[in-house]
Amino acid sequence: MSLLSRALPALRLYCIGLAVALHQLLRRLRPGGAPAPVFPTQNGNVAIVTGGAKGIGYHTVKHLARLGMHVIIAGNDESEGQEAVRKIKEETVNEKGGVSVFLFSLGNVLVPLDIGMCLLEFLHCDLASMKSIRQFVQQFRAKNCPLHVLVNNAGVMLVPERKTEDGFEEHFGLNYLGHFLLTNLLLETLKQSGTCTHNARVITVSSATHYVGRLHLNDLQSRCSYSPHGAYAQSKLALVLFTYRLQHLITSDGNHVTANVVDPGVVNTELYKNVCWATKVVKWMTAWLFFKTPEEGASTSIYAAVSPELEGVGGIYLYNEQRTKSTDVSYDEELQRRLWTESCKMTRISDVGSRDL
């Protein structure tokens, strides 16, 4: 493979990242703007957020908890997860005469809730391990509680070539296959929890890099020629294809579950720890101007999880809380079907696409 061919995935990735960063800057400089949304309380609803101990996931968890949800952080670091639980409780709960006061920074509105209505906990789930995912689902089911929102948020970016516990390329295995398996194992609970007036929701976090992603069905593990940039973009494209296929299968059987995919934008998180030193320097110098904060990056996930405007609406791509067109190839139903079938083989689950949900 030529040097140019090796460099193309990185060039595409940085070009789309620059375009998004510039768009964010222009949006920030625009006068006025729409007021921050205020969402209804979610008392009694249950959510799972993968990778909820830091970054975008952390702020997603915090805002869902402030809305009164019982939120479960699914992560692979016990101490980090428990610290996130402690910190969120400390930041959001101010006991005054048995009442908890939550400050919604999204809408800058104070909403009083009973302290018992808001539950937050951590459960171990390593998305790079099929065994760990199955154990997590067993632990969750043992609680005998419903599931109204699943946020597939966790991910890695630009990691060096390495494999998951099950032998999958890490971007594809963790970012995509881990969430594919988790969603399918929790699907029955989601179906039982959704109603005609309050659908259960699956929210999957992709990114603008999916626009430059190439899905190699004959080499999903990037064995022929590994590029961390290409592998990352492929995993994000796979998540979009998965979401659309999932919604198609759900709709065909009339279940009260919706599946949507969100794009958080270019966000200042720890995901950039694997970029080259030059990129780190540029990021350090410009992130304050061009990048979103993790809290800003979480806003679209939160919107997709609880906004009344999306009740019963599925199969859409959201950016800045707006419906947006994803890349053309993501709407290829045959490609969606083939990826789904191959994913079922890899994760050793039955292909629900070949039968009714």
Contact 235, 156 (CB under 8 A): no
- In angstroms and rounded to an integer, the radius of gyration of the C-alpha atoms of the chain is 20
Contact 176, 130 (CB under 8 A): no
What the block records as the tokens of 198 is 């309050």
CA distances from 268 to 50, 51, 211, 288, 300 (A): 18, 16, 20, 8, 15
DSSP 191-235: HHH--SSS-EEEEEE--GGGGG----TT-TT--SS--HHHHHHHH
Q: 152 is written with which tokens?
A: 């597939």
Catalytic status, residue 176 = no
Query: Cα–Cα–Cα angle for 156, 270, 317, nearest 5°?
Result: 60
Query: In the chain, how long is the greatest CA-to-CA distance?
Result: 69
How far is 255 from 107, CA to CA, in rounded Å?
32
Query: Which tokens go with 226?
Result: 């590994």
In b/e form, how buried is each residue of 88-126, taking b as 16+ CB within 10 angstroms?
beeebbeeeeeebebebebeeeebebeeeebebebbebb
Q: Distance between CA 293 and CA 343 in Å, rounded?
A: 33
DSSP states along 131-200: HHHHHHHHHHHHTT----EEEE-----SPPS-B-TTS-BHIIIIIIIIHHHHHHHHHHHHHHH--SSS-E
Beta strands at 200-205 and 149-152: parallel, antiparallel or unpaired: parallel
Catalytic residue among 58, 176, 211, 232: 232
Cite the active site residues: 232
